[in-house]
Homo-oligomer: A and B are copies of this chain.
Amino acid sequence: MPKEPFTVVGTAFHTPERGQFEILENHLFGVDRQGRISDLLPPDHPDFEARKKAAAAAGQLVELADGQFLMPGLVDLHIHAPQWPQMGKALDVPLEVWLQKYTFPLEAKFADVEFAREVYGELVDGLLANGTTTALYFATVHGPATLALAEICREKGQRALVGKVVMDDPEQCPDYYRDPDAESAVQETRLFIEAVRAMDGGERPLVMPVITPRFIPSCTDAALEGLGALAREYGCHVQTHCSESDWEKDYVEARFGESDAASLDRFGLLTRNTILAHSNFIGEEDMDLIQERGAGVAHCPLSNLFFANAVFPLRKALDRHMHVGLGTDISGGYSPSLFDGCRHAISASKALHGGVHAGLAPAERGAPGEAITHREAFWLATAGGAEALDIPTGSFRPGHEFDALLIETKAAHSNIYLHRGDSLEDLFEKIVLNATRANIGMVWVSGRKVVG
């Protein structure tokens, strides 16, 4: 939909490449009618003043005030949309209780599309308010409710990749909540893909369909084969859980005699458009394979600690230049904020590499490698996630979608305190480490203002 072009003038922070942190001090950001960054002028550019004046005269200038900064929108690579109502709940019970008593009964309720609309509306509003401009969603097995999620994202203006979950194995899934059989699971997925593409089929769709086997243990071979065929046919995104826990890793090896990643590859489900959630227990060969296919990993540091008893080997993945980003994993993670996600990623990385158990000798305490920095964490939450999804966002570049946050360091309820002597780089660290939803003054997705 064509919009009015506009111009933002102010200072932006971004991490366009891993290991690269850039301050665009006092720059001018032109946003075109399509919501893309048309150009990006430094303050000493000969056209800067004229462009700024023209935008002001046309009523199309957003000039950042003192204490306001621009940052790229955040990309959530793994979130269970139907688990929104239990975010922050039932995290003190064992996994089996969590699944059987809370999670599956809740997801089953999304057979009711009205209920789904209500929850999903609140979810998308909540995530946008937290600065999540792109989300890769697991929905439920239900086609209509999942299509409702896609519609709501489009209406509210969130960039979204949405998957109807497939789980058809009667031995692993509850009777009251599963696909009736492999054939219908695959057919419902096909219908869902076509419906989403019919709804938003342009060259630059805001909402995209995702082939979503819950994980190998919940799917029959026939379903996995059928979904692999769909992935080839439609070339769309794929998501699933991979090697999250000891149990999952062992289950897949016992069933197929090979790793989770290798099995997914055999079914045609490991592609450049695949995102594997967790992947805590992948080995070197799995990493080689994932990287060869160009697939990515959604690192979910909080739920790693709560449900996996292990943390994804992120440093190794970064050193190998794998595609990787961050997921909140709601509601296995309790926080909807990817700023929290950045902090959790740093903490989990510190725990993994520095060690935690004082009873061990220092050299035996942690895994090899350095912990990640706040710059790397922010890259994961923005450009890293976008790169994994192969979408043109996550940093400020001409041609990229204008998915951005206006950060208000001086907002009411802000815990970001600037002091004499703080450099802009210090300030960026203070934002990454202490920003909350209260600091997010405006949010744009493809140039559309969706918050503020």
Contact = CB atoms under 8 A, between A and B. Distances in A.
A357 B350 contact: no
A87 interface: yes
A18 interface: no
A357 to B, nearest CB: 5
A155 B405 CA distance: 38
Interface in A371-393: 373-375
B356 A311 contact: yes
Contact of A335 (B305, B358, B415): B415
Contact of A92 (B374, B415, B416): B374
A92 B351 CA distance: 15
Contacts of A358: 280-281, 310-311, 313
A437 interface: yes
Contacts of A415: 126, 130, 335-337, 437
Given A89-B426, A429-B88, A355 B310 contact: yes
B438 A373 contact: no
Identical copies in the complex: 2
A334 B365 contact: no
A348 interface: yes
A67 interface: no
Contacts of A366: 309, 357
Interface of A: 84-92, 119, 122, 126, 129-130, 246, 280-281, 302, 304-306, 309-311, 313, 334-337, 343-344, 347-348, 350-352, 354-359, 362, 365-367, 373-375, 413, 415-417, 419-422, 426, 429-430, 433-434, 436-438
10 contacts: A85-B417, A88-B430, A88-B434, A89-B430, A309-B365, A334-B343, A347-B347, A347-B348, A351-B351, A413-B438
